[in-house]
Amino acid sequence: MTAKIIDGKEFAANVRAQVATHVVRLKEEHGITPGLAVILVGEDPASEVYVRNKGKQTVEVGMHSVEHKLDADTTEEALLALIDQLNTDPAIHGILCQLPLPKHLNEELVINSIVPEKDVDGFHISNVGMLSTGQKSMVPCTPLGCLMMLRDHHGSLSGLNAVVVGRSNIVGKPMANLLLRDSCTVTIAHSRTKNIEELCRGADIVVAAVGRPEMITGDWIGKGATVIDVGINRIPHPEKEGKHKLVGDVHFASASQVAGAITPVPGGVGPMTIACLLANTVTACCRINGLAEPEGLTA
Ligand code: GUN
């Protein structure tokens, strides 16, 4: 069996096109332009690339984009003052503070200082609590993207056995909550799980988000299962000396021989994260303004 490849690039382009349509509607019918503010503290090269892409794509879908680049030694007080200002800025509907933050800044305090309705990352404790109690909330972008692709592939997820490998606050835990909300039977596996291979083999859906290159091989996958690979790992290229390549948490070559459908790395989940950030910004904008929210772009 050779798996269907779930094309995240194409899927993300479709989400962005839907976002752009809603942006036009909001402008034409309500005179509102959704606005996203991104804060970057310090000079982490990977974060800089990511923030640049966010800004570019925000503008491409017709939204208002603001970037705040702060020095690595910015005080917590200054960062909180900026967030306070964005919290009350009527032109801003989404605020994202790029993680990780420099060590001297308290990440939890900073995240929880963003008003929950503008927390397009879905990391605020209120949004986490609302998601886990099944209430309407802002949902973290990467799990939202995975959910969209799973719903598209399966239609209903009800009754399916899902194993989420990884228990992070950003992906694993919210992913498990979203799958539970769609009536999957959910297992969260992690580095201490004893029978992890067996658990994965029994799953209809495996979501891999552990950050261990190619850990999940084909013999861990049940025949016809859907595999969503969230991992993005840079490893030395096996054939080209001095070069690197990107691989997921799943060993693609072997897993794709067994799975029914699989996301590749790159070009799978990755492009969906920014697309879902844009979707979340439109959703936040609609909710803040008491307007009907876009269908198909929320959980
Ligand atoms: N750093 C890596 N991924 C993310 C993300 O999704 N949101 C934020 N705020 N920081 C990140």
CATH number of the domain that 106 lies in?
3.40.50.10860
pLDDT at 152: 98
Whether residue 61 is found in the same domain as residue 160: no
Q: Is the CB of 119 under 6 A from ligand 1?
A: no
Give the model's pLDDT for residue 283: 98
Among the residues of the chain, which ranges form H helices? Answer: 8-30, 45-60, 76-87, 107-111, 125-132, 141-154, 172-181, 196-201, 252-255, 270-288
pTM (2 decimals)?
0.97
Could you tell me if the CB of 276 is within 6 A of ligand 1? no
The whole-number average pLDDT for the span 140-148 is: 98
pLDDT at 277 over 90: yes
Helix segments in 31-171, DSSP class H = 45-60, 76-87, 107-111, 125-132, 141-154
Low-confidence winner among 11-15, 44-48, 139-143, 179-183 (lowest mean pLDDT): 44-48
Average pLDDT of span 202-210:
98
pLDDT category at 161 given cuts 50, 70, 90 is very high
Q: Based on the domain organization, do 111 and 159 belong to the same domain?
A: no
Nearest to residue 39, comparing CAs of 90, 99, 93?
Answer: 99
Count of helices and strands (H, E) across the chain: 10, 11
Percent of the chain with pLDDT over 70: 100
Tally the domains of the chain.
2
Using the atom order of ligand 1, give the atom closest to the CA of residue 99.
10
Pick from 117, 132, 162: which residue ends a domain?
A: 117
Q: Judge whether 133 lies within some domain.
A: no
Mean pLDDT, residues 4-20 taken together: 98
At residue 8, the 3 state secondary structure works out as helix
- Identify whether residues 153 and 52 lie together within a single domain: no
Asked if the structure places residue 80 within a domain, the reply is: yes
Ligand 1 within 6 A of CB of 141: yes
- Region 26-40 average pLDDT: 98
Q: Is 157 in the same domain as 257?
A: yes
Residues 109 and 147 in one domain: no
Can you tell me the mean pLDDT for 108-123? 98
Whether 246 and 147 map to the same domain: the answer is: yes
Q: How many CB atoms lie within 10 A of CB 192?
A: 7
* pLDDT above 90 (res 1): no
What's the whole-number mean pLDDT along residues 2-31? 98
Domain that holds residue 94: 30-117
Residues contacting residue 140 through CB under 8 Å, at least 6 positions apart: 121, 122, 123, 170, 171, 174
Phi/psi for 267 (5° steps) reads 95, 10
**Residue 79, domain member (yes or no):** yes
The angle formed by the CA atoms of residues 210, 216 and 222, to the nearest 5 degrees, is 125
Do 156 and 265 lie in a common domain? yes
| pLDDT tens profile 74-87 | 999 999 999 999 99
Specify the pLDDT at position 231: 97
Is 284 contained in some domain?
no
CA of 38 to the centre of ligand 1 (A): 10
Let me know whether 238 and 198 are in one domain.
yes
Query: How many Å apart are CA 261 and CA 77, to the nearest integer?
Result: 48
Residues marked as catalytic:
54, 98, 121
Q: Which of 38, 39, 50 to mutate to test the pocket of ligand 1 (most atoms within 8 A of CB)?
A: 50
- State the average pLDDT for the chain: 97
pLDDT level of residue 259 (50, 70, 90 thresholds): very high
What tokens appear for 245 in the block? 């390549």
